[in-house]
Amino acid sequence: MRTYFPVEELARDERFSKVNMRERMADPRTLAGDSATTTRKSRGNNNRLVPSRRDATDAARALMHGIFVGEIQALEGAGRTCHDFAVSNVPGTGPSGADSDPTTGNTVPFALKLDMARQAWDEARHVEISVKLSDWMGTEIGQFAENTVLFEAACSTDPVLRLAGVNRALEGLAIDVFTTMKDFGDLAGDPYLEFCEDWMLADEVTHVKMGSDWLRKVTENDPDRRKKALDFQNVVDKLFSYGGTRSDSEESPIGLARRFRELAGFSDAEVADIAAVSLAALDERKSSVAKMRDQAVTEMADQLGTA
Amino acid sequence: MNITVTPATFSYVEFDADLTTRVARELAASMGLDRDVRIEIDETTPLAKIIVDVPTAANEPIVVHADSGAFEDTRRPRRQSENTTATSLGRVLYRATDRLQGGFGEAPADGELTLAQMAAWETYSVGRLARLGIPVNQQRWRYNFRNRHGFSDAGDESFALLWSSDGLTWGELQAISERAISVGTPARAQVGT
């Protein structure tokens, strides 16, 4: 079996339609449509995914499908990490270490592989749960386009970058998403959604903790590598904060689950950083929208003036 | 009956005004709607909001305002789905038809409907769309109804009644909705609204 599987070749049947992050961000409506201002008329400044939103049911269905495909990719990513790297139990062995894999220069401790195997087992269960929840909510498999960014973050040739990008950034986002969905189920009185999300949330906290612990152990004597990994995590965090989808602000559909992040091994400073990046992304979006609106008003005034 | 769609061409999305016109014409004919219909699509937003203005004057057209997400293929972003277009247009055109054909005079304006009232009316409309042959996922609408009326067997019975009904009045529709809320476990989010 080959190592380092490209995202384009992930096995999917005809029900699925994949889009990557670049395609998603290239949608001109993302800014021009201004969900921030359009929705403000009906929801005030609150865009949080709660049952009282008029579009709550469909928004929850779409998010649940996003969770479902995310779980598939998380399973694939954890499985690849079990397979892609040679074993070395010397902590801190890096690209130039004596025990490096000659192909990639990277190795992982055997216990890390065991954790990834356990995670793959968890993710497989989450896929099954997500399929049943989607069915319960009236969503068909593949009904929404699949964003492949999670697996893209799991394609790094450095296992430490995978831990930072997938286990800490994306599984960290999963903590925020599951908390939001769990609260949604609780408020709506949905007996299954709240229960299932709570169960999966517990696993996600464990996955993030694994990432936090292994990142520290493996880079114990390699501060440059640790910095590179944390920088990569910041990039992924920022990517997923695009448009302010997740932040402490009620204007974001998904909240930042601070308590569960603490349990998962994030320091107060790290949580504060993610909160700042998320809010900056939200402000960036609002600023872009305001500029576009001003431009449109100016263009219209010019046209009226010359008519 | 005249159907107009604006804009005629699209730059943000790959939509087809002719397809929208055809779908609207077929739906209106099936519903017995004999008013002109103007459909205004806001292609600058991916949201899926769709609203309808039903004028009282007989010579004025019904006006549908749709965000592009209301007609979009969720599998292929920015492309139009004929089925989604039919379902979205069908929901608002049935609501317009109900208001015009009588029995719904006491119904609040669309913007004043509670979440439960809207969910009940949507159930009634989509059930009829299904009988017109439009493919719909019944469970999606059952889940929407449950979110607004509570998750209970009695609520599901009310859903089934609305789904299979024809010729309801506003009073009958509202009574079914209220019964579901009273016997079910209303969502906590609905309390006080």
Query: Is residue B122 less than 8 Å (CB to CB) from chain A?
Result: no
Q: Do A17 and B75 touch (CB under 8 A)?
A: yes
Query: Is residue B32 less than 8 Å (CB to CB) from chain A?
Result: no
Q: Do B49 and A33 touch (CB under 8 A)?
A: no
The pLDDT-based confidence of A42 (bands split at 50, 70, 90) is: very low
The pLDDT-based confidence of A188 (bands split at 50, 70, 90) is: very high
Mean pLDDT to the nearest integer, A129-147: 97
The domain defined by A15-23+35-306 folds into: Ferritin (1.20.1260)
The pLDDT-based confidence of A250 (bands split at 50, 70, 90) is: confident
- Collapsing DSSP states into helix, strand and coil, what is residue B173? helix
- Residue A286 pLDDT > 90, yes or no? no
Give the whole-angstrom CA distance, residue A153 versus residue A7. Answer: 10
State which residue of chain B sits closest to A42, comparing Cα positions.
B111
ipTM of the complex: 0.92
- Residues of B within 8 A of A62 (CB-CB) are 74
State which residue of chain B sits closest to A49, comparing Cα positions.
B189
Read off φ and ψ for residue B50, nearest 5 degrees: -140, 125
The pLDDT-based confidence of A119 (bands split at 50, 70, 90) is: very high
Mean pLDDT to the nearest integer, A2-9: 88
pLDDT in tens, A198-225: 999 999 999 999 999 999 999 998 899 9
Please tell me whether the peptide bond between B7 and the residue prior to it is cis, using omega within 30 degrees of 0: yes
The pLDDT-based confidence of A37 (bands split at 50, 70, 90) is: very low
Domain layout of chain A by residue ranges: 15-23+35-306
* Predicted pLDDT of residue A30: 66
* Predicted pLDDT of residue A54: 93
Q: Do A55 and B140 touch (CB under 8 A)?
A: no
The pLDDT-based confidence of A297 (bands split at 50, 70, 90) is: low
State which residue of chain A sits closest to B143, comparing Cα positions.
A137
Q: Do A135 and B139 touch (CB under 8 A)?
A: yes
Residue ranges of chain B whose pLDDT lies below 70: 184-193
How near does any CA of chain B get to the CA of A222, in Å? 43
Does the reported pTM lie above 0.90? no
- Residues of A within 8 A of B74 (CB-CB) are 62, 143-145
How near does any CA of chain B get to the CA of A265, in Å? 33
- Residue A1 pLDDT > 90, yes or no? no
Q: Do B45 and A55 touch (CB under 8 A)?
A: no
Mean pLDDT to the nearest integer, A106-115: 91
Q: Do A33 and B188 touch (CB under 8 A)?
A: no
Q: Which domains does chain B have, with CATH numbers?
A: 1-101 (3.30.2010), 105-188 (no CATH)
Q: Which of residues 133-192 of B touch A (CB under 8 A)?
A: 137-144, 146-147, 150-151, 185-190
* Predicted pLDDT of residue B41: 97
